[in-house]
Structure formats: structure tokens, C-alpha cells
Amino acid sequence: NCITGSTLSLSLSCLSLPLPPTEDDVDLEALVNDMNSSFESLYSTCSSVQSESVPLLQHNGQVHRDHHRSAPMPPHTHTSNSELQHSTTSPKQRRRRSQPMHILAVRRLQEEEQQLRTSSLPAIPNPFPELSGSPVLSPGSLPPCQPSGTYIINIFSEDGMGKVVEIPADMTARDLCQLLVYKSHCVDDNSWALVEHHPLLGLERCLEDHELVVQVQASMTSEGRFLFRKNYAKYEFFRNPLNFFPEHMVAWCQETNGAIPPSQLLQNFLNSSSCPEIQAFLYVKEMGRKSWKKLYVFLRRSGLYFSTKGTSKEPRHLQLLADLEDSNVFTVTTGKKLHSAPTDYEFCIKPNKRTELKELRMLCTEDEQSRTSWMTAFRLFKYGIVLYQNYKIPQQRKTLSHFSTPVRSVSENSLVAMDFSGRIGRVIDNPLEAQSAAMEEGNAWRKRSQRMNILGSPSPLHPCLLNSVIHRTQLWFHGRITREESHRMIHQQGQVDGLFLLRDSQSNPKAFVLTLCHHQKIKHFQILPCEEDGQIFFSLDDGSTKFTDLIQLVEFYQLNRGVLPCKLKHPCTLVAL
């Protein structure tokens, strides 16, 4: 237990690294005094040695090797003549012969060694301390391991059919959606989304455009899957912010007595320093039980809280419900059946790990607008300005990040607009002229006279027969689906104003039904056939406005509201992968 002078000299030399001499070196006396105090604190921990230890180094820079008189000096600890010469050398000469590390680096080294002393990982000397700022490579200072290579991802469509896609490790959800649009020959209107779906838990959420697909797949369970479908409501908040948050839900609105400009509300939601607080009553499911409680809940950037005393905001009355940083918000599709929810408008906060059903935080609102507001606020509080950048990127970037081919279908790549009205044909380069020519060509078949074959029966291109079946080729027509299925499709693709689909009527086999979403409510309008001069027309307003086919009807109400609460804007579309 006795510490000899040679041992101390060896320890001092280990901490002094030979470096080339420079003019800005640290004073050796200051370094020695600091190390003297460090060694004294280290030796004081040795409880077995009861004798008092003499300071290792004095202010005159000479080494004193006098220890307890009762302890004999070991033979190998005598001082040579060369060592005495070194001890009497001036500080300036000693600096030139041995250059120690900077005093701040030595202190950081001691702190790192103290922290890693209890760890199983040894301290690894850092060969480049000037780059990382630390002379020791600790586990926290090591760069995170990024995925590399290619991965296999299974993507499913609404009909249950799947497609296997090989993607790089750094591919985002937006890039994968553009790849699927390109491979499926769909129209890229920046409304396609990748959905994380958990059928056993009844949960699903839309991946953000900047999320890495491989990382999301690593946190999913074996029963989880990715779905590819439309989502028109993904960035609807940036288009109509005031339609999402009622005044009673935003604490910032109550303090200013309402009257908030849309730009100011949007700026406050995106600003990390001053963000409004969302508050309202929610039904909260108790952990591990089937019972629900109605609590006053607050959503802040630090997390989701509830008040234990009415609507009090005092810190002593607030308890944390969920953290925003390591969680995601999901829509619950089987709330009443699986969780006995009090309403149909349930959502869930799920940690970013493979969790069980009992670890989920289930919440429930009174109506659809409140659920949409809470889920949108959760995304805004978590991602902030990143969401706005995702919303603006499609308007600035027209090509794929991983693919040089523009997002166009095969038919668009192989066809061009032509004009054959003159002596020779010409290619129409003007987009407006090409669009006008396409509309004229589409309407030409409606004006053709009835063609008869030799037997006098209508030909296969008879206008009456064609009018009755031409709509079945459109993406917005879904055939014989039920009323409940149409509701489900509207819910899944985002309840925005103008989202619509057409289907066969279940009560009248000759009629059709227009399903339209307005103010997050789904309405149904029956389209009845009417006959005039031996020709069949379709009308939505009891014959006041008649159309020869459903395509004409849809095109009219896309430009005019008519008897509808809003124009037809977004077709509810299904894609087959």
C-alpha cells in the first residue's frame, strides 16, 4: 500500500504526452500544482494506509520524496544523479523537453475516467481529440449506427394484394410513395401516403414524409404492415388552420379573446419557443382496465398532461399521460369493439417500440373534429417546422430523389397531343391547347349519331349502351359497395371538403349514389335516371340539370356547386399494386 516516488514519477510521465515544442504551452508549475491536488485526493481514498502523506510537489517545482519515517525505502526507489539534475532544471527548459496535455484536457480525462469506472466498457483513447472535444471515446460520443445496404419491404393495397419492393436504407416515406406511383402508373398529385397498420391492435397512422421506412419497420411487430393509399387530409391544416382548432381548445386564443389571423395561428404552432396549448375534456382509458374516465387534458411540447383537480393548471395538479418525443399518435379503427370506447372517435398514443395492448394510452373525443384537432396538434408539437417543410417540398421538387425518371405513367411517356386539322399533322406543344384538344376529343363520342349494323341492331358502340357503362372505367366509381364501406373509405383517405365517390344504389338498381364529405360529415345524394325523347339522362336535382352520362355529371359538379354543399374536389381512389 505504500506509494513510492518512482511510482509517482511514472504516473506523472504517463499523463504527459511528448509533443513538439510551441510558444503557447501551458505553464508547467500550474499543471503540476493541479495534478498535485488530484493525486492527494486519489491517495486519500486508500483507507489501508493510516500515515499522513507529504505533498508530492512543492511550489519551487522540486520533488520531495520523504515518506513516513517508519517505512523503509525500497532498494529500487533511490534517486539517480540524472533525476536530480532534471529536478533542478528551470521550468522553461523542462517545458521544452516534455510537453504535457492542456489542463482542460486533463480535467476532462479525469472526469471521463470517473464516469467510465463503473462501466463495463474500458476508456478508449481518442486519436483525434481536437475533432470530438474529448480525449476518450465514450459510448455516448460514438456516432450512431446508421443502417446501410438494401432492405425488402412488403407493401399492401386496399384489396389485400401486396408488392415486394427492394429499397435503400435511407429511403424516406415520400420517396417510396413516388416509387410506387411510378410503378403503378398512378397520377402523382402529392396525396399518396404510406400507412403503418396494425390489424390486431386496430391501429393505423400515416407516416411523415421525412421518416425512414426501414427504421419504422424495425419498430413494428410481425403482424404490422404497410399500406399504400390516398390521404388528402395530411397537410390540410396548412391550407385551412382555423377549421381545425376551435377557440375553446387553444389556450392562446382564450388569452387574446379570439380573432386570430390564420397566418399568426400557423406561426405560433410552428414556433418552438411560443406554441399554444391545446386543452379540452377527453375520455381516458385506465391502464390495465376497461373503464374510462373523463379528464381535463393539456397538450404541451413537453408532453400530454391531465389535471387531478377539475380544470386547474397548477403544476401540483398536473400528471403526465404520455411523452411526445418517443411516441406516435394512431387512429383506432376498432375502438368500441376492442376497447369498449364511449364514442367512435378514438385515438391512441403508442411508444416507438414493440408494445403490447396494455401499454397503449387510449383516448376518446366527442366528435370527429375534436379527434382530428388533437391528432394534428400532436404532430405539430412533435415535428414543428419539419411538417411545414414536408408540405412545401412537393411544390419545389418535381423529380424523384432516388430516381432520375420523372413521375409519369407509361401512357404519358408514349403519347403526345397531335393536331390533324391541316394538310399535315403537327405536335401540340402548348399544354393549354393540348388540354383543350383532349376535352374536345372526349366529348366528340357523345355527339355521334346512332350507328346501325346490317341487322338493324345497335352496334357495340351504341351511345346508349356506352353511356351506361363508361363510368365504370373511372377511378371515382366503386361499383356495388355498401354504405358502410363508402364511409370507411372516406374516413381512411381523409375527411376533407370535396372528397367524393360514386357507387351503385342498393335500393334502386337503376340509380347511383354520390357520397360526399363536407365539414367532416358524410352525405349521400341519389342520382336518378330520366328518359327524354327516347334517350336516358342522369340527374341529381330531379331533372332540373340532366347529363348524358355520369362523367358529364362529375365534370359539371367539379366546376359548379349546384345543389351540393361544395364542389367535387378529390376523388376517392383505390389502386391495385
Close Cβ partners of 377 (under 8 Å, ≥ 6 residues apart): 245, 269, 278, 299
Q: Indicate if the pLDDT at residue 82 is higher than 80.
A: no
Q: Do residues 230 and 237 lie in contact, with contact meaning Cβ atoms separated by under 8 Å? A: no
CA atoms within 13 A on the CB side of 52: 2
Residue 295's beta-bridge partner residues?
282
Backbone angles phi, psi at 470, to 5 degrees: -65, -30
Eight-class DSSP state of 48: T
98-125 pLDDT, tens digit per residue, is: 444 455 555 565 666 655 554 444 455 5
Distance CA 541, CA 237 (A): 33
Eight-class DSSP state of 455: T
Q: Give the lowest-confidence range in 49-58, 189-198, 462-471.
A: 49-58
Q: Which cell numbers hold the place of 348?
A: 391512441
Q: Do residues 566 and 522 lie in contact, with contact meaning Cβ atoms separated by under 8 Å? A: no
Which of 51, 57, 12 is CA-nearest to residue 37?
57
Eight-class DSSP state of 344: S
Q: Indicate if the pLDDT at residue 67 is higher than 60.
A: no
Q: Indicate if the pLDDT at residue 383 is higher than 70.
A: yes
Residue with more model confidence, 253 or 151 = 151
Length of the chain: 577
Distance CA 253, CA 568 (A): 33
The residue type of 383 is Y
481-498 pLDDT, tens digit per residue, is: 999 999 999 999 988 999
Eight-class DSSP state of 60: T
Q: What is the pLDDT of residue 416?
A: 65
Mean pLDDT score of the chain: 74
288-315 pLDDT, tens digit per residue, is: 788 899 999 999 888 899 999 988 888 8
As to burial, measured by CB atoms within 10 angstroms (0-12 exposed, 13-18 middle, 19+ buried), residue 125 is exposed
Three-class secondary structure of residue 431 per DSSP: helix
Q: What is the pLDDT of residue 313?
A: 87
Q: Indicate if the pLDDT at residue 71 is higher than 60.
A: no
Highest mean pLDDT among 92-96, 414-418, 521-525: 521-525
Q: How sure is the predictor about 32, in pLDDT bands with cuts at 50, 70 and 90?
A: low
Overall pTM surpassing 0.85 (yes/no): no
> DSSP secondary structure string, 514-549?
EEEEETTEEEEEEEEEEEETTEEEEESSTTSSEESS
Q: Indicate if the pLDDT at residue 432 is higher than 70.
A: yes
Which of 519, 259, 272 is CA-nearest to residue 372?
519
For a pLDDT cut of 90, what percent of the chain falls above it?
31
